[in-house]
Amino acid sequence: MLLGIESSCDDSSLALVDLQTAKLLWHSKISQESAHSPYGGVVPELASRLHALNLPLLAQRAKDFLNGFGALKAIAITTCPGLSVTLLEGLMLAKTLALGLNIPLIAIDHLQAHIFSLFIDKPPIFPLSVLLVSGGHTLIVEAHGPQEMQIVAKSLDDSLGESFDKVSKMLGLSYPGGPVVESLAKACPPQEELKFTLPLKDHKGLAFSFSGLKNATRLAIMQEKEKGAVSESFKARLCAGFQKTATAHLLQNLRRYFANSPIKTLGLVGGVSANLYVRERINALCDEFGRGLLLAPLEFCSDNAAMVARVGVELFRCKDFSPLYDTDISPHTRLVYAPKFLL
Ligand code: KG4
Ligand code: ZN
């Protein structure tokens, strides 16, 4: 049995996976969304204190489930990327358990864990192209094996998830912004969405950019405020316009990528991959290009320990263990940026 621990941002989560079958046996998560919502984003100090509270509660639940920790053979822990103060909370729990139980510690790359959200209770499929859209990242990754993953395109500025969050914040709505913006966008009648310029329209290579679009939504809100109170119908038209343009930008990059890559399967992962409009549009593009699309179950799109434990199983099999007494806590199989197709 392997225990996975996730604390890279505002979700405390633990999961137990069988090391032989990779089957997810138990998982539990305590989210902090309501605590951060008044600030319109994650406050690291607050997140850290809440992990200090919630991780031991989750560990107790795992212990109750297992009738003690005797069956644990390894601990997998997200060590990067993420908020340093919250990563350390999880790492301390992981090191304490590994030390007390005399079992190996496996450092996990959070991005690799998101990719493995596609393979919960399933064997992995390689080669695989992945579009990773989260609060911290917007990437195209090529994965040729569990330890062989390269970032081939990334955002030049903001991530897509962060942009959803900012649009919600600018409209005075809650955090996380993605689900709020998605549901408001649904209320916009067809063809009535606000029009925004497609980011990096004339860029020839593969890259994402969301800061210009974010700024354009800010200006549209300011102009509307000058006219008076911002109506619900304006909010819906703005959210629909933002979501449509941001998704068109993802599609524009994927088209270019598909034209240059022989890999037949695309995985869509990260918090934003829970967005049904994004899923639908990418699904249609995959059909057009004859690519298979892999999606994670909705409950595993945002941060969770099940995906951490799932990578942990692969790395346990390769004996990719990390030292307990070391200040370098980087996972051995970090994703590297190796830009391709810079046309
Ligand atoms: O992967 P994740 O849980 O955390 C990071 O690794 O960053 O992603 C969180 C992000 C947030 O920005 C949130 O607004 C976004 O995912 N998100 C969504 C939706 N659900 C969550 N964005 C768009 N539509 C959604 N339905
Ligand atoms: Zn994440």
Q: Is the CB of 179 under 6 A from ligand 1?
A: yes
Q: Give the per-residue pLDDT at 110.
A: 96
> Which residue out of 39, 134, 184, 303 has the highest number of ligand 1 atoms within 8 Å of its CB and is therefore the one to mutate?
134
Residue 271 CA to ligand 1 centre (angstroms): 3
Q: Pick the atom of ligand 1 nearest to 135's CA.
A: 7
Q: Pick the atom of ligand 1 nearest to 274's CA.
A: 26
Q: Give the per-residue pLDDT at 41.
A: 87
In CATH terms, the superfamily for domain 128-295 is ATPase, nucleotide binding domain (3.30.420.40)
Distance CA 185, CA 317 (A): 45
Q: Is the CB of 40 under 6 A from ligand 1?
A: no
Q: Give the per-residue pLDDT at 162.
A: 96
Token match 């109506």: residue? 231
Q: Give the per-residue pLDDT at 78.
A: 97
pLDDT digits (tens, 9 = 90+) for 167-217: 999 999 999 999 999 999 999 999 999 999 999 988 888 999 999 999 999
Residue 233 CA to ligand 2 centre (angstroms): 32
pLDDT category at 134 given cuts 50, 70, 90 is: very high
If you average pLDDT over every residue of the chain, what do you get? 95
Distance CA 202, CA 90 (A): 43
Distance CA 343, CA 205 (A): 5
- Per DSSP, 271 falls in state G
Across the range 4-31, mean pLDDT stands at 97
| Proximal ligand: closest to the CA of 176 | 1
Q: Give the per-residue pLDDT at 342.
A: 54
Token match 């000058």: residue? 226
Residue 270 CA to ligand 1 centre (angstroms): 7
Query: Known binder of ligand: residue 110?
Result: yes
The domain 2-120+300-334 is classified under which CATH number: 3.30.420.40, 1.20.910.10, 3.40.980.20, 3.10.180.10? 3.30.420.40
Largest CA distance in the chain: 66
pLDDT category at 326 given cuts 50, 70, 90 is: confident
Residue 239 φ/ψ, nearest 5 degrees = -60, -40
Across the range 10-26, mean pLDDT stands at 97
Q: Is the CB of 82 under 6 A from ligand 1?
A: no
Distance CA 16, CA 39 (A): 33
pLDDT digits (tens, 9 = 90+) for 72-121: 999 999 999 999 999 999 999 999 999 999 999 999 999 999 999 999 99
Q: Give the per-residue pLDDT at 341.
A: 63
CA atoms within 13 A on the CB side of 14: 24
Q: Give the per-residue pLDDT at 339.
A: 82
Helix, strand and coil content of the chain, in percent to the nearest 5, comes to: 45, 20, 35
Those residues whose C-beta lies under 8 Å from the C-beta of residue 50, and which sit 6 or more positions away, are: 10, 12, 30, 32, 35
Those residues whose C-beta lies under 8 Å from the C-beta of residue 103, and which sit 6 or more positions away, are: 72, 73, 74, 75, 97
Query: Known binder of ligand: residue 271?
Result: no
Residue 23 CA to ligand 1 centre (angstroms): 25
Query: Known binder of ligand: residue 303?
Result: yes
Whether 304 has a pLDDT exceeding 60, the answer reads: yes
| Proximal ligand: closest to the CA of 302 | 1
**CATH 3.30.420.40 domain residues, the chain:** 2-120+300-334, 128-295
Angstrom distances, CA of residue 154 to CA of 141, 143, 151, 303, 337: 9, 15, 7, 20, 8
| Proximal ligand: closest to the CA of 135 | 1
pLDDT digits (tens, 9 = 90+) for 146-170: 889 999 999 999 999 999 999 999 9
Q: Give the per-residue pLDDT at 340.
A: 74
Neighbouring C-beta atoms of residue 234, cutoff 10 Å: 18
Query: Known binder of ligand: residue 182?
Result: yes
Token match 């930008």: residue? 249
35: burial class by Cβ within 10 Å (0-12, 13-18, 19+)? middle
pTM for the whole thing?
0.96
Distance CA 341, CA 153 (A): 9
Query: Known binder of ligand: residue 133?
Result: yes
Q: Give the pair of three-digit tokens for residue 119.
A: 């393979």
Whether 337 has a pLDDT exceeding 90, the answer reads: no
Q: Is the CB of 275 under 6 A from ligand 1?
A: yes
